[in-house]
Amino acid sequence: MLDFWDHIKTFWGEDMTCIIGYVADKKVYIGADSAGVDGYDMSIRADEKVFTSGPFIMGFTTSFRMGNILRYCTSPNEQSSKQTDHEYLCTTFIDHIMAQFKTGGFSEINNNVVSGGHFLLGYKGNLYKVESDFQVGHTIFNYDAIGCGGNYALGCLCALESSSIDPKDKIILALKAAEKFSAGVSGPFHILEI
């Protein structure tokens, strides 16, 4: 039987938050809200959902424990000259993340399938989306969003595509749209770039 939180995740398909990534002029911007949601309860967190770690910028959903691991335990081996960026992220980087999740007590195993959580990742001027099955996706668009407010943010970003507004302002507008229509999204908003 599903508990309340499982029903919420099933209904929304993702976690209670809004994380937005945007690429412009070879820079990756990631913005996040500050909501910590547990059922009907919300707290505003001081530990931000977006951060840089070495050559990476990340914004996470799913669990603040997962965010702790990503923030403080992300030092994978460097990319070899024979690997493309995507190959490196799908192998060396993700293998390291999976090991850190296991060591940190975050991974979940059901029917011999290991799962983690959702996060956006910026690396070498490109934006990637890591899913709970550890696939590393790379959209054709220069933006992406995850969390329960993600679809509202994507709609806003799509409407702003041809606008000359600064990327950070686009992210703020998209986060405000998500906050307006999703009960799981709340400011203050934080944006970093790499």
Q: What pTM did the predictor assign?
A: 0.90
Summarize pLDDT for 80-93 with one digit per residue, the tens. Answer: 999 999 999 999 99
Q: What is the mean pLDDT of the chain?
A: 91
Structural domain boundaries in the chain: 4-193
Location of structure tokens 């690396």: 123
**pLDDT for 1:** 44
* E strand map for 39-172: 41-44, 50-53, 56-60, 108-110, 113-115, 119-123, 126-130, 136-137, 143-146
DSSP at 125: T
Report for 7-16, 107-116, 137-146: range of highest mean pLDDT: 137-146
Rounded Cα distance between 33 and 10, Å, is: 21
**pLDDT for 5:** 44
**Omega before 188 within 30 of 0, i.e. cis:** yes
What confidence tier does 179 reach under pLDDT thresholds 50, 70, 90?
very high
What confidence tier does 10 reach under pLDDT thresholds 50, 70, 90?
very low
**pLDDT for 32:** 98
CATH topology of domain 4-193: Glutamine Phosphoribosylpyrophosphate, subunit 1, domain 1 (3.60.20)
**pLDDT for 131:** 96
Summarize pLDDT for 104-133 with one digit per residue, the tens. Answer: 989 888 888 888 999 999 999 999 999 999
What confidence tier does 16 reach under pLDDT thresholds 50, 70, 90?
confident
Report yes or no: 150 and 14 within 8 Å, Cβ to Cβ: yes
What confidence tier does 13 reach under pLDDT thresholds 50, 70, 90?
very low
Rounded to 10 degrees, the C-alpha dihedral 113/4/186/125 comes to 10
What confidence tier does 62 reach under pLDDT thresholds 50, 70, 90?
very high
